[in-house]
Amino acid sequence: MTPLRPLWIALASLACLCAAPCALAQDAQPRRVALLVGNWDYNGNSQFDDGPSEPFASDLSNPCRDIERLRPVLEYNRFQVHEYCNNDRNKFEASVDAFSRATADLPKGSIVFVYYAGHGIQYLGQAFALPVLIKFDLQTLQQKHTKERLKFFKDNANSIARLLDRLNSDDGIALVVALDNCRNSPFEESADERVDDEAVYNNAVSIRTRPNTLIQYATTAGDRAGDRDPDDSGNSPYAMTLSRELAKGGDIGDVMSRVDVEIYKRYDSGKLDAYTESNAGPAFIALKHAPERALAAFVPAAIDAGVAAASPAGGAPPAAAAAVRPTAAAASAAPAMAEPRSAGAAPVRRKQIVRNVYDGTSLDIIWCEGPGEEERYRFAAWIAGDLAARAKELGVGRIQVKPLAQDKNENGRYNVYRNLMRYDIEHPDERKVLRRIAAAYPQGHFLPQRGIGVGGKPTPNYVSAFVCERSATAVTGAGAG
């Protein structure tokens, strides 16, 4: 098991000012900007203390090493990096304000990337990053009313919701936020202090699903994040995985889905104590894939050595570092199901039951009609056929493949252009099933998302997977990987 980041000193186990400039900005080339923040020296003495140092939180080993590991691959991909190490509360707020100003008028198609590593908590459904030099007495706080505790963190820590509120919310910009911190409460909560999953979700919606945002936590709610990777103590498990997947290149959303998969695989094998949780807003899900959003592959030897490889003039990657692309399978790899379209024929619009046994979680695999639908159908059909043979292993019951009409997707309430999965917040076992499926089919780049059931009502024992990838290199079958 990986060592955990201790949270608390008292509990070691918790350880265009006018129209013309604006028009020019929108016509400009998309940009890439990143904010990297790492906090480790919590008592401010410029040395690592392996133990409590009251009245401060305990030091951490790797947050600033983590941001140094990420910086080279981001710079290689033409990100302008704003980097901060050891922020007290005021410095943290000032750095976010400066970053907000620097990203306020980005052209559409730009990418904003934010990474925070350090102590963090989640209390009464609200998430906070802990700044260095924060002082508190946990035992005294434990005796106070919940409202007083929450006020303490609002006044002395940095609110994640407030951070996101100050970032660019343009639906044409991809905002990716990676939070490498713990999400547990420092208190032994009594019954009246507990917040049920639905309340936590309702509060977290404003945090995790701003329309243009994909936010990924290094751990699920209530759990702690590892500070040292069991295979490399010089970085956290999440930072190691994130840097490696960024280095492989590809669409930024697909990169984050690969992080989800790789962390879950290590959790499932017993190497890690928790896995990631991701959620994307509707505008991020609707953003169509474009070349500008694809990252170039970074030379692996360079990132392992912590050395930035200079990108040639104009930002194009060298031939040896061409972006890694998934391998498309031959059409014959798809199972023996009806073709979505034949010459001169209309698309197939009927549901197809692939497995009609209700001994697990029911799954609808929904493929999006429109340009590229043949590839999407083949991939959906292949997954359905393969899942039918692995149903008991993955906890799946009835499996159905069905189309989503282009008009309904684009003009209705869907507007999906990515591969994603949906589960109900009220049924956590559904999330486990989808995580297993996503890990079993990493070539699908699925992002498991919290949903709201059908018609706004939860649907027990039912989940869905959307195959709506718009990339020209969309995966089409079993041979990808």
The three state secondary structure string of 161-208 is HHHHHCCCCCCCCEEEEEEECCCCCCCCCCHHHCCCHHHHHHHHHHHH
Distance between CA atoms of residues 417 and 415, nearest Å:
7
pLDDT one-digit tens code per residue, 52-99:
888 999 999 999 999 999 999 999 999 999 999 999 999 999 999 999
**Both 132 and 242 in a single domain?**
yes
Q: Is residue 83 domain-shared with residue 116, that is, in the same domain?
A: yes
Taken in order 206, 210, 211, 216, is the CA torsion positive or negative? negative
Residues 239 and 260 in one domain: yes
48-62, 96-110, 345-359, 404-418: lowest mean pLDDT where? 345-359
- Residue 54 is predicted with a pLDDT of 86
In a domain, 156, yes or no: yes
- The tens digit of pLDDT for each residue in 2-43 reads 444 444 333 333 333 333 344 444 458 999 999 999 999 999
- 478 inside domain: no
Residues 6 or more apart from 17 whose CB is under 8 A from it?
none
CATH number at residue 313: 3.40.50.1460
Under a CB-based contact definition with an 8 Å cutoff, are residues 368 and 392 in contact?
no
Same domain, 341 and 307: no
The reply to whether 208 and 252 lie within a common domain is: yes
Q: Is residue 422 part of a domain?
A: yes
Q: Which of 317, 313, 327, 326 is nearest to 297 (CA)?
A: 317
User: Do residues 335 and 309 share a domain?
Assistant: no
Does 437 map to a domain? yes
Whether residue 347 sits in one domain with residue 316: no
Do 28 and 250 form a contact (C-beta atoms < 8 A)? no
Residue after which a domain boundary falls, among 284, 302, 321: 321
pLDDT, greater one: 52 or 242: 242
Q: Which of 261, 291, 321 is the last residue of a domain?
A: 321
Return d(Cα 316, Cα 449) in angstroms, integer: 33
Contact 384, 353 (CB under 8 A): no
Alpha helices in 5-62, H assignment, sequence order:
19-27
Residues 144 and 76 grouped into a single domain: yes
Q: Which amino acid appears at position 438 of this protein?
A: A
What's the pTM? 0.83
Contact 298, 321 (CB under 8 A): yes
Same domain for 259 and 365, yes or no, is no
d(CA 440, CA 262) in angstroms, rounded, equals 11
With a pLDDT cut of 70, the percent of the chain lying above it is 75
Residue 121 identity: I
Chain-centre distance of CA 69, in angstroms?
Answer: 18
Tokens of 49: 């203390």
Give domain status of residue 9, yes or no: no
Q: Please name the helix (run of DSSP H) or strand (run of DSSP E) that holds residue 150, with its range, or none.
A: helix 146-156
Kindly state whether residues 31 and 160 are assigned to the same domain. Answer: yes
Q: Which of 303, 321, 339 is the last residue of a domain?
A: 321
**403: buried, middle or exposed (CB in 10 Å: 19+, 13-18, 0-12)?**
buried
The average confidence (pLDDT) of the chain is 80
Shared domain check, 335 and 298: no
Residue 292's pLDDT is 63
Q: In this predicted model, what pLDDT tens digit does every residue of 276-309 receive, in sequence order? A: 999 898 889 888 766 567 899 986 555 454 444 4
Q: Containing domain of residue 241, as a range?
A: 19-321
Q: What is the pLDDT of residue 328?
A: 33
Burial track 35-44 (b if 16+ CB lie within 10 A, e otherwise) = bbbbbbbbbe
* 12 in a structural domain: no
Residue 412 falls inside a structural domain: yes
- Assign 412 a pLDDT band (cuts: 50, 70, 90): confident
> Is-contact 375 444, C-beta < 8 A?
no
Q: Can you spell out the DSSP letters for 321-387?
A: GPPP-PPPPPGGGS-S---S--TT-PPP-S-EEEE---SSEEEEEEEE-STTHHHHHHHHHHHHHHH
Cα separation values, 133 from 15, 23, 42, 56, 93, Å: 16, 44, 5, 6, 14
Question: For the segment 452-474, what is each residue's pLDDT rounded down to a tens digit?
Answer: 667 767 788 999 999 998 753 44
**CB of 249 closer than 8 Å to CB of 238:** no
Domain count, the chain: 2
pLDDT single digits (tens) 437-454: 999 999 999 988 887 667
Of 124, 116, 125, give the one whose Cα is nearest residue 204.
125
Residue 253 CA to residue 215 CA, distance in Å, equals: 10
Q: Which amino acid is at 175?
A: L
Asked whether residue 339 is domain-assigned, the answer is yes
210 and 92 fall within a common domain: yes
Q: What gap in Å lies between CA 302 and CA 107, rounded to an integer?
A: 30
